[in-house]
Amino acid sequence: MGSTSAHDSNEGLGRRDLIKRSAALGLITVPAMGFLSACASSSDDSPKEKASGGPKTAKNPLGVNESAGLDVVIFDGGFGTKYATDANAVYEKAFPKAKINFHKTQKIQSELQPKFNGGTPPDLIDNSGAEQMDMGVLVGKSQLTDLTPLLDAPSIDDPSKKVRDTLRPGIVEMGQFDGDQCWIFYYAYTVYGVWYSQTALDKLDAKYPETWDEMLALCEKAKKQGIAGWTYPGKYPYYLPFSLYPFIAKIGGREVLDAIDNLEPKAWEHPAVKAAFEAYYELFKKGYILQGTPGMTHIQSQTAWTKGQALFIPNGSWVENEAAPTTPKDFKMMVGAPSSLDGNDKMPFGTIWASGGEPFIVPAKAKNPTGGMEQLRIMLSEASSKNFTTQVKSLSAFNGGTDGLALSTALQSGVDALKKAGTNVVNPRLQDWYVKLQKEQIGVAGLGEMMAGRATPAETIKKIQGYADKAAQDQNIKHYKHKK
């Protein structure tokens, strides 16, 4: 896996110099997306009736109050909500006296922020989507319940195992911010990367490009047939990092991403960042990006992609379910790891970003926090996990749950990608720790402008480093660091 082909080691070596020589294009500005930054406030400390716990038993290890109601809010996005309502039914069977108040929405922030501020939040929330509440802010303002009791509870399938021992790598760490407390539970397990249709590649008599030179050559071949190389959600350009961040790590090593996450001075000025930005900018300069992409939403860009108007799209494994309505039956959806820039890359081809997705939280002021945790324990049974995978074509945080299931090409390619990556899985934390910086500033104002051709890589790096420095110096932001 770590070996390089002759193509990698010879022709590829000059790529950085080649890109340096290529000409830059003109600039104009675009308004940034009005993202609602979380303004969680704990000013309202009005007391709220907590449901007192019940006795702890083998069947009820968390000590759930069996007659207390449970208030659940689920983000209605790429995964839908049936997996959650199916788990609700299991909860109600276990606790027949408990009534579940279930609500689904795409407007997590605007609907729930007032409830947080008023001290009346739900018991369990799937905090996801474009209106996701800022997790760093919620943790920093002590608005979440520590989920360690859930992690240390016996698992439903094998009570001799703790829940934490049944999870995929990185899930517990992702929920931690500083110290060992776990504030967020990521229920889905997402494989991020460059998504494509094997059928589209077969029609071009091509294989997935393992080097950037091969990527450009394939995009040129597609262009001659009226097909764009790439598209992406131009209105939400924070999708670009799904393939760009692991590309940066592949070129310069995972420590480059750690420095970026840690908001270190000059982190964005690393040669690996420059090389990756210049490579992506080349897609724009050579006309390989689908026309109209800068104005597209995630759904519009995914639809253009499933209709065969572009070969590649940076995305997460939820895309299979989200794009299902427009995906042809013979599409053969797959995910690829970032291509190698050249033979000097620090990490092997196959290096990929995979991590927890679909963050679930139990608010500190929830009426029934134990019930919220018990619901997550139910969702982490093999039966619930298999139900999730079957319904939404995604892996869950439960390490297993695919045995005996017929997996789609997309899901199988995700499983294969994880296997190929082995230990070369990266997990950038910027999108959890600093939501505004990642979405509005790096995404919209930075990468969105560059990929639309309105700023050069050098200008973009300078701008993004400025945003990161400002965030690092902002005393109103809680700062987090990777554990050494």
Looking at every residue in the chain, the average pLDDT score rounds to 89
* pLDDT over threshold 80, residue 295: yes
Q: Name the pLDDT band for 49 (thresholds 50, 70, 90).
A: low
Report the distance separating Cα 56 and Cα 415, nearest Å. Answer: 38
> Quick one: pLDDT at residue 17?
37
More confident residue, 11 or 70: 70
By CB atoms closer than 10 A (0-12, 13-18, 19+), residue 225 is exposed
Q: Name the pLDDT band for 305 (thresholds 50, 70, 90).
A: very high
Domain extent listing, the chain: 70-189+356-411, 191-354+428-473
403-452, pLDDT tens digit by residue?
Answer: 888 999 999 999 899 889 988 999 999 988 898 999 999 999 999 999 99
Inter-residue contact 311 to 219 (CB < 8 Å): yes
Q: Name the pLDDT band for 482 (thresholds 50, 70, 90).
A: confident
| Least confident range of 30-39, 44-53, 148-157, 227-236 | 30-39
Report the distance separating Cα 26 and Cα 23, nearest Å. Answer: 10
Average pLDDT over residues 267-280: 98
- The CATH architecture assigned to 191-354+428-473 reads 3-Layer(aba) Sandwich (3.40)
Q: Name the pLDDT band for 28 (thresholds 50, 70, 90).
A: very low
* pLDDT over threshold 70, residue 355: yes
CATH topology (fold) of 70-189+356-411: D-Maltodextrin-Binding Protein; domain 2 (3.40.190)
Sequence-distant (≥ 6) Cβ neighbours of residue 479 within 8 angstroms: 263, 472
> Quick one: pLDDT at residue 164?
97
Question: Residue 185 pairs with which residues in a beta bridge?
Answer: 360
More confident residue, 383 or 400: 383
> Quick one: pLDDT at residue 170?
83
Percent of the chain with pLDDT over 90: 78
> Quick one: pLDDT at residue 52?
67
The residue type at 290: L
> Quick one: pLDDT at residue 421?
93
Exposure string (b/e) for 115-137, b if CB count within 10 Å is 16 or more? Answer: bbbebbbbbbbbbbbbbbbbbbb
List C-alpha distances in Å: 77 to 82, 91, 228, 392. 11, 23, 27, 11
Residue with token string 């059928």: 199
Nearest-CA neighbor of 413 among 428, 430, 388, 395? Answer: 395
More confident residue, 347 or 176: 347
Average pLDDT over residues 176-180: 84
More confident residue, 343 or 33: 343
| Least confident range of 33-42, 51-60, 100-109 | 33-42
* pLDDT over threshold 90, residue 15: no
* pLDDT over threshold 50, residue 293: yes
More confident residue, 394 or 144: 144
253 φ/ψ sector (left φ>0, alpha ψ -120 to 50, else beta): left
Beta-carbon-side half-sphere exposure of residue 171 (alpha carbons within 13 Å):
26
Are the folds of 70-189+356-411 and 191-354+428-473 the same? yes
Sequence-distant (≥ 6) Cβ neighbours of residue 34 within 8 angstroms: none
Sequence-distant (≥ 6) Cβ neighbours of residue 362 within 8 angstroms: 123, 124, 125, 144, 145, 147, 369, 372, 373, 376
Q: Name the pLDDT band for 45 (thresholds 50, 70, 90).
A: very low
Enter the DSSP assignment of 403.
Answer: T
> Quick one: pLDDT at residue 321?
87
E strand map for 127-262: 185-197, 228-230
Percent of the chain with pLDDT over 70: 89
At residue 108, φ and ψ (nearest 5 deg) are: -55, -55
Average pLDDT over residues 301-325: 96
> Quick one: pLDDT at residue 392?
87
Helices first, then strands: H and E counts in the chain: 21, 10
Q: Name the pLDDT band for 169 (thresholds 50, 70, 90).
A: confident
> Quick one: pLDDT at residue 18?
35
Inter-residue contact 119 to 365 (CB < 8 Å): yes
* pLDDT over threshold 50, residue 37: no
